[in-house]
Amino acid sequence: MKKLIFRNIFKDITYFFLLSSLSLTLIVWVIQSVNFLDFVTEDGHGLGLYATYSILNLPKIFSRLIIFLFFISTFYILYKYEDNNEISILWIHGVKKIEFINNFIKFSILFIIVQLLFTYLIVPTTQEKARSLFKNSDIDYLPSILKSKFFNDTIEDVTIFVGEKDINGNLKHIFLKDNKDYNNDRGPNTSQIILSKSGQLVKKNKKYYLILNDGNIINLDSKKTNIIKFNRSEFNLSRYTSKTTIYPKIQETSSNLLLQCINFLILKNSSNFEKIFNCDEQNIDGVLKELHKRLGVPLYIFLIGLISSCLVLKTKSNNNFNFFKFIIFIFGFSIIVASEISVQFINMGFINNFVILLSPIILGIIFYILLKINLGFGKL
């Protein structure tokens, strides 16, 4: 009988989790897909690319919601059972509260495994495939990135700002900064700023040129500034590459490669991983934080499950049950926030990172011991 009751509780939690996951994931997915639709279709590309890219983002959205939805599901179902006096059947059949909490912890481990599977394997794989979709397609991203009142640095070594852009693609009040080094043909440590009153992006022989009218070219170096006025000038954008297609972003890189990058940068083992993705000293902080997101954040589910199971410690017949329920909810929500904030404290310190990684397990064990002591003394 006890096993049947436990099975029903965990089945209800799972059903509610799946239903809420499907609903919330689809809502977020639709919002993101709508934002991405303009980018893909503006240049006349079919909906096939749009649909494929959007679907490949579903695992990423779901993985970000797992901890939150697990807490909501466990909190709601346990409160529902308590409110309907169904949880008391367990105590009638001789189930101890600490036994219930132990089973709940085991149940939480299943969700830890699910999130680890998504964050460590599925999400990086689908994100890399989404990036490859752009890299291997003939999509013209340049017309899409020139948006009014928006600084864009998608093009490597170039920052572009457009004050106005009409429906015909005519541009006004253009700012362009070029930091690209062409074998120092403009001299060392040289950058170029172009200011133009108007312009237009045109395509010639499969290459994009920014036609600029009535402006100034400002050449800057460490010694002097040179200003050249022009009535009309062409800026070849096709000689530049997009940052998003040279190397995969850290979020799009497989977990094994990130671990090997750490091995290469910190342990100084010889490797060629800097050639596979942007594995260098400047990115080490981002690599460590990304690994914590994938391996450390899922461990907070253990603590969330432990906190949610505390709802059985008091019944609705207790005068302070509603206040106790409120405290549990706030405590659980705070842990979710802490799981996100913990990423910001990851740095090059090994001991610091190790403590942050295991903090949810350590806190969970301490909390469990205190619960067991109090239950043993009959205080809860």
pLDDT for residue 137: 60
Report pTM: 0.75
pLDDT for residue 379: 52
Q: What distance in Å separates the CA atoms of residue 160 and residue 141, rounded to the nearest whole number?
A: 14
Alpha helices in the chain (DSSP H): 2-41, 47-56, 58-83, 88-92, 97-117, 123-135, 142-145, 243-246, 255-265, 284-295, 300-309, 321-341, 350-376
- The structure tokens 């750490």 sit at 262
pLDDT for residue 372: 87
pLDDT for residue 47: 67
Report the amino acid identity of residue 164: E
pLDDT for residue 126: 92
pLDDT for residue 121: 94
Alpha-carbon 205 to chain mean position: 38
- The structure tokens 């440590």 sit at 189
Q: Which residues contact 167 (CB under 8 A, 6 or more apart)?
A: none
pLDDT for residue 183: 45
Q: What distance in Å separates the CA atoms of residue 251 and residue 293, rounded to the nearest whole number?
A: 10
Q: How does 303-334 read in b/e, with b if 16+ C-beta sit within 10 Å?
A: bbbbbbbbbbbbeeeeeebeebbeebbeebbe
Could you tell me the maximum CA-CA distance found in the chain, to the nearest angstrom?
Answer: 89
H or E segment and range at residue 232? strand 225-236
The partner residues of 235 in beta bridges, in order of sequence, read 210
pLDDT for residue 107: 93
Q: Average model confidence (pLDDT) for the chain? A: 82
Q: What distance in Å separates the CA atoms of residue 311 and residue 320, rounded to the nearest whole number?
A: 12
pLDDT for residue 45: 54
Q: What distance in Å separates the CA atoms of residue 220 and residue 205, rounded to the nearest whole number?
A: 31
pLDDT for residue 38: 60
Alpha-carbon 55 to chain mean position: 16
Terminal alpha carbon distance of the chain: 25
Residue 186, Cβ density class (10 Å: 0-12 exposed, 13-18 middle, ≥19 buried): middle
Residue spans of the chain under pLDDT 50: 43-44, 182-184, 186
Q: What distance in Å separates the CA atoms of residue 315 and residue 380, rounded to the nearest whole number?
A: 11
Q: Which residues contact 104 (CB under 8 A, 6 or more apart)?
A: 74, 305, 306, 308, 309
H or E segment and range at residue 215? strand 207-220
pLDDT for residue 260: 83
Number of other CB atoms surrounding residue 158 within 10 Å: 19
Cβ atoms of 75 and 311 closer than 8 Å? yes
Q: Which residues contact 223 (CB under 8 A, 6 or more apart)?
A: none
Q: What distance in Å separates the CA atoms of residue 125 and residue 130, rounded to the nearest whole number?
A: 9
Cβ atoms of 173 and 162 closer than 8 Å? yes
